[in-house]
Structure 1
Amino acid sequence: MRLVTGREMRAIEAAADAAGLSYAAMMDRAGAAVAAAVNPLADGPIVVLAGPGNNGGDGLVAARLLADEGRPVRVLVWRRRLAGDPLVAAVTRHDGVQWAHTDEADALARLGAWLADAEVVVDALLGTGADRPLTGIVADILDAVSARRDRLFVIAADLPTGLDADTGALDPHTVRADVTVTFGYPKRGHMTWTGGPVVGKLVIEGIGIPEAVGDGPAAGAVRGGPAGGGDRAHAIPPPTLEISTAATVAAVLPPRPPHAHKGTFGSVLVVGGSASFAGAPYFAGAAAYRSGCGLVTLAVPHGIQRSLVALLPEATWLPLPEADGALDAPAAADVAAAWGAYTAVVLGPGLTTRPGARAFVEALLDAAGGGRADAGASAGQRRSPPPPMVVDADALNIVAELDGGPARLPPRSVLTPHPREMARLTGIGVDDVNADRIGCARRAASAWGHVVVLKGAYTVVADPSGHTTVNPFAVPALATAGTGDVLGGVIAGLMAQALDGHTAAVAATHLHALAGEIAAGFAGARGVMAGDVLAAVAGALEELEG
């Protein structure tokens, strides 16, 4: 499902109208969806805040439908003419509706009285139309709601008023919603660190838009809006920015044929570990197995191998030479000699950034052809190129300090930085990374030629081609040590089963987030550990495939 800007959504609506789905029909569906979201929340009075344009129209339709059901409805109309507006007329003439217009001197006082008794507020003031700071009476309206926010359910139509549809920038007067019902497609602002907390639960209502208009082959054509409309002749870009869904992920999961054997499902080589971070390669390797991979080998320092065998007896082992409890440069030759037997590699879990580990990574990349020479091979000898590689954790931190940076990695590697690691790789500040996560990931993927997985709430997966997918989850239970190693293992496990890097990363981030939610269900959001997420990966797969 595509993720759109406000301007793109308006162009899609114009195209749908031109194709025969009228604005009025779309508004009826949108209003019905808002009313449906209100119904389960409470039985008491409902206050609908209706502004100009389509967003206010959605709220007025919802108000009429709720009043038709006998619900006590109060409507405050802002910046909308009373005369000649059939939506306003349907509400103001309804026996079950009390209403006021902000042009009336006592409008705010009446709103205050309504809010004192209300159980639900519908915010249909601006939606995607919020493109400047909120001032004057609209700010006063929202502040009145905020003053009573702790005893109200708030439903936002499309977006909470004051949330920028494109950037997620938030006006200080914005009221946090419990539920946001968005129309057509989710907006970029919903999937941002600033926007997510005020959106609440996001409900996506398709409002009848034909697939060919928004997602199909017709997308990308130039379509005009109504004569003189502000979006006339705006192009609808092809859907290169999407969100992952359960259906799209389930559709790409590798098949499990009944005649299969372990070789059918590929093999993963996990390279990392140290005396300080012995558990990291275990989590990555076990997660690769949980994703369906047929064989996992852990290439770890000799000194920690014995302790890990008891944790993961299903694995095979490549014990490596070490120095001071971490891998050192001589280990690179052993890894490079072995990786040709595997279908995916994870590099980095628990590696450390000690000088020996840095020398190991540099020697390994030289052996992969990403350095000055094949330093691990004797004269006239050429090793197999590395299989598809997931680069995680301290391997990313080391790469950030090497001459050439990510360009040293094998082509189309999958990099999985969190924001601080991304800041090191790109040379910009963490705040700059988080201010434009989609743009940052896209620019890096294009410049480096790798798939970039920018982790965090609403993880971004960007392909060098520009195709980008946002994971629609924000799961605080995943904010604990080791869960990133689990994600790296799931990505590699799916790549080992012949998924390309971008597809594997999209599926893995969705599975990982779902596993986090499952783990929070039995361990509590505060008590989740990486082992809980690992244990839940199989259940997440079963849920998607069921």
Structure 2
Amino acid sequence: MPMIKSEEVLQFIVGTPEDSRRLDRLATELGIDSLILMENASLAVFRVLRQMYNLSETNVLVVAGIGNNGGDALGLARKLYVEGYNVKTVIVGDPDNYRYPAKVNYKIVKNLNMEVNTIHSTHDIPLFKDLLEWSDVVVDGLLGIGINRDVRGVYSEIISLINTSGKDVISIDIPSGVGGADGKIYGSAIRAKATVVMGILKIGNLIYPGAEYNGKLYISRLSYSSPLIKSIDIRQYVNLPVNFPRRREESHKGDYGKLLTIGGAINYYGAPLFSTYAFLKSGGGYARLATLEEVIKVVAGKAPEIVFHPLTMNSEGAISSENIDKILDLIEMYRIDILIVGPGLSRSEDTLSLVRELLLKTNKPVILDGDGLYAIKDDLEIISRRDGQTILTPHKIEFTRVFGLEMDYVDENRIAVLRDISSRTKSIIVFKGAHTLIGYPNGDIFINLTGNPGMATAGSGDVLNGVIASSYGLGLRLGDAVKAGVFLHGLAGDIAANELGMDGFTSWDLLMYLPKAVKLFREKYREVIDRYLPEVVL
């Protein structure tokens, strides 16, 4: 069975602009001159252009800034020129500001008498409009990965003109205007058809909103060797899940995990059903749901495969704290492997006290979701004091409320905040959203690339709980099960969106596509993984 190799994991680490600068410095110390790296970058973009277009019939406008990103662009323009293709170049800014190695490429294009135009201010915009009109494809080498303040003046106007031109845009490293360190849009940004990333993926290539601007991602390793990449401490990765062990011919339902879900309240019927049924629909073995009798009456007919255990209701229409001994008995009696706690639970303080007591009295892995997260809001140390492992699955609003953080702060520091809280609570945190982040207590962060906007629907997160639990039941270690569960949840959503469209497919539809997603993942593992990865430019 084809699997992910360690070399590929290195290829898809995700760093910051500073990480890239460190790699460049280390490469230089090894004797790999920065001009060589720039030439590698230029050739990578050339190869992508040649793959995407018939360059003999394509007018290419290369837009270069005055940094090293612009130097990459000038190297590309020279390559297109010497190969006889139709290329025009425009430099935005004062070329006298070029420094080595970009300055070398500038001198070369001048010595070759190539057509190089210069835009100094908005007064030169008519010239740029004429060049844009001539072009079929625009190469964006304007600003690069290090931007950290809003784009203004002539740069902003050029970005706007490119975006409204209708021309294909190929960005070098990252679309101009997207922050390489955080994925923020600094005023305005290029919307690219494709982006050729240099060396390592940048956070801004994968984190929204910037990720939406990249188009198809390509990556060139430049001249970075594996030992070089390993020498710096980068702890962000693309989520590359491992495949499941083979289902044995002689096996029974208990071999594929035994789940107990605790959730539901009056008026909250669907969430615990989605979580529990998703466990079964994604390959889990034995599923039990402990909930109110009133909930069982409503949902039992929807999923007769689930074993239901009625619990006592408190005065608020939620699960009473008096049920603690019964729940602990269920865990022991049925040798439960993993628990899901929280979907549809309500925020009754009596119920939340039950959750806190349960967390400290069981050493089984617990997926804590939804209302259950609010049980730890005022005492995060409950999680770090547990004998068992804990997986927290908040979306952004839950994340800010449970951990007491401002929304803007989280948006601007998403990875750093996730790393800090996961480490402090000693828990695995699935920070749900577009390109879900998975944080581990050791500081590792994984960025998931499956999923689509159609999954922004009630109950989708509840389905995720069950898929993570089943991945554990199917034989993966808990940390690997979380990565596989998140990937498969998004894959099922992508299959559903492809067949039904993104508008109107529900979490019940998502459930129904889980078997197809698992089958595809098992049988065409390498093909499925490659579908979501940037294409490597050799």
State the TM-score, normalized to the length of structure 1.
0.83
Which of these residues, 337, 341, 346, is aligned with residue 352 of structure 1?
346
1:362 and 2:353 matched: yes
Contact 2:260–2:336 under 8 Å retained in 1: yes
311-320 or 37-46, which moves further after superposition? 37-46
Tell me the amino acid that sits aligned with residue 176 of structure 2: T
Q: Which residue of 2 aligns with 1:192?
A: 207
1:116 to 2:96 alignment: no
Q: Deviations over 1:117-166 (max 9, x none)?
A: 323211112312434544454444334434x34x1222211012232211
* Matched residue, 1:374: none
AA partner of residue 268 (structure 1): L
AA at the equivalent of 2:235: T
* Cα shift at 1:4: 0.4
Consecutive unaligned residues in structure 2, runs of 5 or more? 1-11, 525-538
From 12, 15, 22, the counterpart of 1:11: 22
How far 1:413 sits from its partner (Å)? 0.6
Q: Which of 312, 322, 326 lines up with 1:330 in the alignment?
A: 322
Q: What residue is the counterpart of 1:316 in the other structure?
A: 307
Q: Does 1:395 align with 2:372?
A: yes
Q: Quick one: distance in 2 between partners of 1:9 and 1:55? A: 13
With the length of structure 2 as denominator, give the TM-score of the two structures. 0.84
The CA deviation at 1:460 is 1.6
Structure 1 residues 131, 362: CA separation in 2 closer, same or farther (over 3 Å shift)? closer
Structure 1 residue 534, shift from structure 2 partner: 2.1
Contact 2:152–2:187 (Cα < 8 Å) also in 1: no
Q: What SS is found at the alignment partner of 1:326? A: coil
What SS does the aligned partner of 2:481 have? helix
Please report how far the alpha carbon of residue 113 of structure 1 lies from its aligned counterpart in structure 2 after TM superposition.
0.3
2:72 is matched with 58
SS at match of 2:504: coil
SS in 1 for 2:169: strand
- CA drift at 1:25: 4.5
Amino acid in structure 2 at the alignment position of 1:345: L
Change (3 A) 1:104 1:440: closer
SS of the residue corresponding to residue 47 of structure 1 reads strand
Q: Distance in 2 between matches of 1:140 and 1:33?
A: 28
Report the counterpart of residue 168 of structure 1 in structure 2.
183
Q: What is the root-mean-square deviation in Å for CA atoms of aligned residues?
A: 3.0
1:342 counterpart letter in structure 2: I
Cα 1:209/1:481, change in 2 over 3 Å: same
Distance 1:131 1:398, change over 3 A: closer
Alpha-carbon shift at residue 474 of structure 1 (Å): 6.1
- How far did 1:44 drift? 4.1
> What are the residue-to-residue correspondences of 1:20-39 with 2, within 5 Å?
23-39=34-50
Q: Whole-Å Cα distance in 2 between the matches of residues 182 and 417 of structure 1? A: 31
Amino acid at match of 2:444: H
- Counterpart of 2:396 (choices 419, 422, 425) is 419
Q: What SS class does the counterpart of residue 327 from structure 1 fall into?
A: coil
Kindly tell me: are residues 117 and 532 of structure 1, through their superposed partners in 2, closer, same or farther at Cα, counting changes over 3 Å?
A: farther
Q: Once the 2 structures are TM-superposed, how far is the Cα of residue 288 of structure 1 from its aligned partner?
A: 1.5
User: Are 1:400 and 1:406, in contact at CA under 8 Å, matched by a contact in 2?
Assistant: no
Distance 1:348 1:255 in 2: 31
* Deviation sequence 1:262-292 (CA, Å, 0-9, x none): 3322211111123422221221122212332
| Of 293, 297, 307, the match for 2:288 | 297
Mean Cα deviation higher: 80-89 or 505-514: 80-89
Letter of the aligned partner of 1:527 in structure 2?
G
Question: Does structure 2 retain, via aligned residues, the 8 Å contact 1:490–1:508?
Answer: yes
Indicate the residue corresponding to 1:375 in structure 2. none
The alignment partner of 1:128 has SS state of coil
Match of 1:461 in 2: 438
CA shift digits 1:30-55 (9 cap, x unpaired): 33332344453685422111223432
* Cα-to-partner distance string for 1:77-102 (whole Å, 9 max, x where unaligned): 2444599955346545669x643134
Counterpart amino acid of residue 3 in structure 1:
V
Q: What is the correspondence of 1:272-291 to structure 2 with a 5 Å cutoff?
A: 272-291=263-282
Partners of 1:281 and 1:298 within 8 A in 2 = yes
The one-letter amino acid paired with 1:46 is V
Does structure 2 conserve the Cα–Cα contact (< 8 Å) formed by 1:17 and 1:23? yes
Decide which of 69, 79, 86 is 1:72's aligned counterpart.
86
1:207 correspondence with 2:184: no
Residues 9/543 of structure 1: CA separation in 2 closer, same or farther (3 Å cut): farther
* Distance change >3 Å, CA 426–CA 125, structure 1 → 2: same
Residue 342 of structure 1 is matched in structure 2 by 336
Whole-Å Cα distance in 1 between the matches of residues 308 and 149 of structure 2? 59
CA contact (8 A) 1:331 1:360 kept: no
Residue identity matched to 2:447: V
Instruction: State the alpha-carbon separation in 2 of the partners of residues 495 and 315 from structure 1.
Output: 18
Q: Which amino acid aligns with 2:89?
A: V
By how many angstroms is 1:393 displaced? 0.7
Query: 1:87 maps to which residue?
Result: 105
- Residue of structure 2 aligned with 1:504, choices 469, 476, 481: 481
| Aligned residue identity for 2:131 | W
Identify the match of residue 257 of structure 2 among 266, 287, 308. Answer: 266
The 3-state SS of whatever aligns with 2:377 is helix
| Residue 306 of structure 1, CA deviation | 4.0
What SS does structure 2 have at the residue aligned with 1:127? coil
Letter in 2 for 1:533: L
Task: Give distance in 2, aligned partners of 1:391 and 1:133.
Answer: 39
Per-residue deviation, residues 5-64 of structure 1 (Å, max 9, x unmatched): 111112223334545655445434433332344453685422111223432232233334
